[in-house]
Amino acid sequence: MRVRSHSPHDRNHSAPGTQTESSKDAAPHRARKRFGQNFLHDPRVIARIVDAIDPRPGQTIVEIGPGQAALTRPLVQRAGHLTAIEIDRDLADRLRGEFPPQQLTLIEADALAFDWGDLPGPLRLVGNLPYNISSPLLFSLATVAERVVDQHFMLQKEVVDRMVAPPGSKTYGRLSVMLQFRYRMVKLFDVPRGAFNPPPNVTSSIVRMVPIPVAQLPAVDADSFSRVVATAFGQRRKTLRNALATLLDASAISSAGVDPQARAETLANDAFVRLARKLGQLATFGVTRATG
Ligand code: SAM
């Protein structure tokens, strides 16, 4: 395998004092904070994550943010071939140097702006995600969930706890409702700060997300659903009657089978679906805001 030398561009943006070795022949890479670079180095944690993913030859596995290839190497070893999307030019150069194209299809791009339609599905998505883009990335991936088999991601523990939170719990919110609508999700295990170099400020967790088949999804307009959920949680301490006042009045909320005195954080997913349908019906009848 070839290892290309480190290219010197853009070093001024590096986080000082956080050099990490990606290969014994290459100059150390300086972890870039703006790209959320915390590189995994604990072999037991890496093995546990890859075992949870269980990569197989013939699957289209896409890694978001391969970095210094801590996960990429064992994934390539077990699957034979991997596609990876990396935004950092220096790291992309190194990856191209280490892996021949028959092992790694490297896409140098911003995963947030990437057109997932460019990749032939069905896709298995994996990644130790840069924490600064995790929520927008999860929302953008939900729009292509139909083409996805599963997703295994490392995220901040606090974010994973919110994703899998049940109604009525403190951490249940917009992220929980929107993602639970589209995926079955299970938190697999926590990963301590010390497993990374440089260590992040917070504990991380691995989550498995499996899209719910389209035929099993409730029929509801996606825009109405996300509007109702965002508005209800915009003022989560208020009753729905008050929090949703700009969209639905108390009688409309009641006629959706939901108590107007309840608060968003107590509602299960199907209650939001009924509220969104009610909003859709009112819009169909040309009522922009329900009254009295
Ligand atoms: N997978 C490696 C590991 O586990 O050690 C690196 C994980 S590091 C937390 C996040 C990686 O995502 C970095 O390689 C970073 O350059 C890359 N990255 C950050 N923002 C990105 C974006 N918008 N699109 C693609 N890659 C990105």
CB of 148 within 8 A of CB of 122? yes
- Best mutation site among 14, 29, 33, 37 for ligand 1, i.e. most ligand atoms within 8 A of its Cβ? 37
Q: How far apart, in whole angstroms, are the C-alpha atoms of residue 171 and residue 256? A: 25
208: helix, coil or strand? strand
- CA 215 remoteness from chain centre: 23
- pLDDT value of residue 24: 45
- pLDDT value of residue 195: 98
38 touches ligand 1 (CB under 6 Å): yes
- pLDDT value of residue 287: 58
106 touches ligand 1 (CB under 6 Å): no
273 touches ligand 1 (CB under 6 Å): no
- pLDDT value of residue 281: 86
Instruction: Catalogue all structural domains in the chain, each as residue range(s) with its CATH number.
Output: 2-216 (3.40.50.150), 222-291 (1.10.8.100)
Q: Which uninterrupted H or E stretch holds 289? A: none
Atom of ligand 1 nearest to the CA of 46: 4
How far away, in angstroms, is 76 Cα from ligand 1 center? 17
- pLDDT value of residue 11: 30
74 touches ligand 1 (CB under 6 Å): no
- Best mutation site among 20, 34, 39, 197 for ligand 1, i.e. most ligand atoms within 8 A of its Cβ? 39
Q: How far apart, in whole angstroms, are the C-alpha atoms of residue 8 and residue 57? A: 36
Residue nearest to atom 19 of ligand 1 (CA): 35
Residue nearest to atom 1 of ligand 1 (CA): 66
85 touches ligand 1 (CB under 6 Å): yes
Where are the alpha helices (H) located in 143-186, listed in sequence order? 157-164, 174-182
Q: Which of 198, 6, 196 is nearest to 96 (CA)?
A: 6
- Best mutation site among 128, 135, 139, 203 for ligand 1, i.e. most ligand atoms within 8 A of its Cβ? 128
200 touches ligand 1 (CB under 6 Å): no
How far away, in angstroms, is 35 Cα from ligand 1 center? 6
- Best mutation site among 23, 32, 35 for ligand 1, i.e. most ligand atoms within 8 A of its Cβ? 35
Buried b (16+ CB within 10 A) or exposed e, 25-48: ebeebbbbbebbbbbbbbeebbeb
Q: What's the whole-model pTM score?
A: 0.89
Long-range contacts at 101-105 (CB < 8 A, ≥ 24 apart) = 103/76, 104/72, 104/76, 105/81
**pLDDT tens, N- to C-terminus, the chain (292 residues):** 232 333 333 333 334 334 554 444 567 888 888 888 999 999 999 999 999 999 999 999 999 999 999 999 999 999 999 999 999 999 999 999 999 999 999 999 999 999 998 898 899 999 999 988 999 999 999 999 999 999 999 999 999 999 999 999 999 999 999 999 999 999 999 999 999 999 999 999 999 999 999 999 999 999 999 999 999 999 888 999 999 999 999 999 999 999 999 999 999 999 999 999 999 887 766 655 544 3
